[in-house]
Structure 1
């Protein structure tokens, strides 16, 4: 069931609060007010239920083990490997405040890489033409290839140096804005790196276990941030999330 942004914030507290109360009509409500949660940022009636929070973390653990097993036949055939990163050094983001407003988008460096390959092929064709003393008119397949690659390179020059890819997500003070979704810092149970294997080794993801909505899979493949740099951001918010420091 779709949950609104505000409801996710409420559930990040309510699902492990001693005052929670389940009803058939309205689902999870507050046992103090007997109403659905209605607060901004933090609930003054919140009472931490460690046992329930541990239960939610265990649920996340089991889901990860089932979805990305490390042993047995299923583990051997799995196309992805989940890894926890206990602690990383703060290299890109020295402080929490440095993360706010950071926009994650596709990285132009991959277009630049393709451009480099095109230049290499052009140089190879020119060298081939010179070595074999082919003609420099359109009767030469090498010349035709050079002209085609020259035109194609213009597109990749534009994509590599002038085009700005649309943002995929933005780091904000309250959480991660994923355009069509939102993850509050208070909603985070745990996280880790998901790395592709074999033919999918170039695929890179971050897995975040949330209290309100279960597992979230964030695709960082070919973006302007690495997995470890994203872990830096999450690590900066440990004392806001439900992850123990």
Structure 2
């Protein structure tokens, strides 16, 4: 092909057909430019296709994380509701007059003291942020992901703080009742049991445990509301990402 054009160019020059040669030269330049343009477009198309493949991969990973989080959030909400029901059942006994002190203490100690330290699947969002690939995601989804991450971080921070504060109160209670296995070891020790009972400060223990459960209840109310809001955001983002999927 190159030899063909070269012969044409040489023939025009040898025949002194300058005007035709000029037109030919311009045409040749145009063809070269078109060729370069097509090559650039093909290269750009290839790069865009590679980026789109990467983006689609991230979409699938995000949906996987969001689905796992949805199941986790729903289970966590159910667990918190169960804790709250347990505490509310304890509160209900006070509607009865002249309660027996030992029974009230027994009911108080039967209330669930475990609290949930919450965590989410954030690996894909963090990878997008750390690698700069977040720019591959359309702005409307990118902004929603950023808001979701902020909400997740807030809930995690609050849950850790609440758990630590609850444990601090429990530490004070543990000083009033000894170790968790003490009652089992006292089964065959009547004298020691009587001695310890005379030393236990049950009024203070009662107040400490009441305070702990009230703190736990209040903190769980905040967490519960935040989780329900997060669940809505999770579903909204899943819907947006699903619309962007190509398969």
Instruction: Give the TM-score band, short-chain normalised.
Output: under 0.3
Taking structure 2 as the reference length, what is the TM-score of the superposition?
0.25
Looking at CA atoms only, which structure, 1 or 2, has the larger radius of gyration? 2
Select the structure with the greater relative contact order (CA < 8 A; seq sep ≥ 6). Answer: 2
The structure with the greater share of residues assigned to strand is 1
The structure with the greater share of residues assigned to helix is 2
Taking structure 1 as the reference length, what is the TM-score of the superposition?
0.25
